[in-house]
Amino acid sequence: MLQIKTILKKILKNSYLFLLLTLLTGKIILFLSELLTLFYGELIFKFFPETDWMILLVELSSFIFITGLVVFWGRKIQKLSWETFGFMRKNALKHFLKGWLLGGIVLSLCVILMMSLGAVKIDGIQITPQLICRFFFLFLAWSIQGNAEEVLTRGWLFGSISKKINIFIGILISSSFFTWMHLENDGISLLPLLDLFLFGIFAVLYRIKTENIWGISGFHAAWNCFQGNVFSFPVSGTDTGSAFISVTTQGPSWLSGGKFGVEGSIVSIVVQLILIFYLYYEIFIKGKKNMRDQFVPEKFEPNE
């Protein structure tokens, strides 16, 4: 056991080996979470019917395994601080709900722009007690899913890499890894890949600006939830079932998003570029941070 720790320390001192180990660990975490999800799904469906919305609920809530594995590795093996993950206690719920509000607004803005360009039309609106009840559970499930991806990529991956090397490498690697995570999604093509990479950059900048992981977790969750269950778009190529507002896409996929959803539209890319430029100005020009510096998150005292 002592030899393993010694070898691990030597690896962590070398930046290139550190990056390889970190990326490999990220892939292993995703693989293990998939195995746990299989057992979790089998257990749940022994007691509940295997309907489309229940399958979605199980898939989203199973992302808690990613969060657990990431925190275990980062805290127990790497000995990372809570602030490296972005787990700030002060006003955590406020940051999360603010992120939710912003995510819903930005996604809705993208849809409105797509409608104005003739790429989307509304077919109908339905608000029923059943949909409202389902939305409550999906609100929680999307929050788990959004938080898990953020803890993995913008919390642990960016936090540990930017602390070890610098902010620029942390942004590049975490955004690339986030994009790689979606390579097997339905409807994937060059434009959605670019959109995913840009979202990765935006999300890191949001995390740096707010100095916590909660805000971008809320934004990510709301973006997906509004996309799939407020509007009826696919979420990164995944059909999420019924929604309050039924929409139909038309025209070229580069404008409508096609099978990938809003994230496959040039509109989403333009909106994200605007957000990236704004945050870049706030952080690196107005705030005078340097991308070549190591990332030093805000300190706080958690309950151990």
| pLDDT value of position 33 | 93
Question: What DSSP character marks residue 258?
Answer: G
Instruction: Note whether residue 294 is domain-resident.
Output: no
Instruction: Note whether residue 205 is domain-resident.
Output: yes
Instruction: Note whether residue 304 is domain-resident.
Output: no
Instruction: Note whether residue 298 is domain-resident.
Output: no
Instruction: Note whether residue 296 is domain-resident.
Output: no
Q: DSSP alpha helices (H): ranges in 45-123? A: 52-61, 64-72, 82-85, 92-116
| More confident position, 138 or 149 | 149
Contact assessment for residue 108 and residue 226, using Cβ atoms and an 8 Å cutoff: yes
Enter the pTM of the model. 0.91
Report how far residue 267's alpha carbon sits from residue 258's, in angstroms, rounded to the nearest whole number.
12
- Reported as a single tens digit per residue, the pLDDT across 98-140 is 999 999 999 999 999 999 999 999 999 999 998 898 888 888 8
Instruction: Note whether residue 90 is domain-resident.
Output: yes
- Reported as a single tens digit per residue, the pLDDT across 187-221 is 899 999 999 999 999 999 999 999 999 999 999 99
Question: What DSSP character marks residue 138?
Answer: H
- Reported as a single tens digit per residue, the pLDDT across 218-233 is 999 999 999 999 998 9
| pLDDT value of position 7 | 64
Q: Which domain holds residue 124?
A: 2-286
Structure tokens at 198: 């840009």
Mean pLDDT, all residues of the chain = 89
As for how many domains the chain has, the answer is 1
Residue 6 pLDDT class (50, 70, 90 cuts): low
| More confident position, 23 or 295 | 23
Q: Which range has the worst mean pLDDT, 46-50, 267-271, 285-289?
A: 46-50
| pLDDT value of position 260 | 94
Report how far residue 293's alpha carbon sits from residue 301's, in angstroms, rounded to the nearest whole number.
24
Contact assessment for residue 288 and residue 294, using Cβ atoms and an 8 Å cutoff: no
Report how far residue 297's alpha carbon sits from residue 159's, in angstroms, rounded to the nearest whole number.
8
Over 80: is that where the pLDDT of 302 sits?
no
Report how far residue 153's alpha carbon sits from residue 172's, in angstroms, rounded to the nearest whole number.
11
Instruction: Note whether residue 198 is domain-resident.
Output: yes
User: Which helix (H) or strand (E) element contains residue 199?
Assistant: helix 190-210
Instruction: Note whether residue 44 is domain-resident.
Output: yes
Average pLDDT over residues 144-152: 95
